Amino acid sequence: MEEHKKNKAHKLMKLLVKTQMDDYKDAQMLTDYAEEAKEIGNTEIASYFASRAKNRMTTAQELDRHIDSLTREINMSDDDRDAENPHEMYRRTYRECQGEQCEMLKKKLEKIM
> What number is the average pLDDT over the span 73-96?
60
For residues 64 and 20, what is the distance between their CA atoms, to the nearest angstrom?
A: 8
pTM for this prediction: 0.75
Give per-residue pLDDT as tens, 26-64: 999 999 999 999 999 999 999 999 999 999 999 988 888
Least Cα distance to 28 among 93, 97, 91 occurs for 97
pLDDT given for residue 79 in this prediction: 54
Domain ranges of the chain: 3-112
